[in-house]
């Protein structure tokens, strides 16, 4: 299972991962990765299996 949220923000913080953390807790071993897509430029880790990714990563090869 992969969780994904999209935020219209230039920065992200731990609060943006509340829903993904809840999903991870419910899904347990089925959860693989969680991503928050945002309008910033950097990939940022936010704990085990959770990452903030720039929206542009969708189109990057």
Q: Where are the alpha helices (DSSP H) in 1-61?
A: 18-27
For residues 8 and 29, give the distance between their C-alpha atoms in angstroms, rounded to a whole number.
Answer: 30
Residue 14 has pLDDT above 80, yes or no: yes
Confidence of residue 61 (pLDDT cuts 50, 70, 90): low
Question: Which residue is associated with the tokens 């953390």?
Answer: 21
Q: Which pLDDT does position 59 carry in this prediction? A: 83
pLDDT recorded at residue 48: 92
DSSP bridge pairs for 35: 4, 51
| Residue 60: per-residue pLDDT | 73
Cβ-based neighbours of 51, under 8 Å, separated by 6 or more: 33, 34, 35, 36, 43, 44, 45
């Amino acid at each position: 299972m992969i969780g994904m949220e999209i935020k219209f923000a230039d920065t992200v913080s731990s609060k943006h991962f509340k829903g993904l953390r809840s999903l991870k807790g419910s899904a347990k071993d089925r959860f693989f990765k969680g991503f928050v897509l945002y309008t910033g430029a950097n990939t940022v880790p936010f704990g085990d299996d959770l990452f903030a990714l720039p929206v542009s990563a969708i189109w990057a090869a």
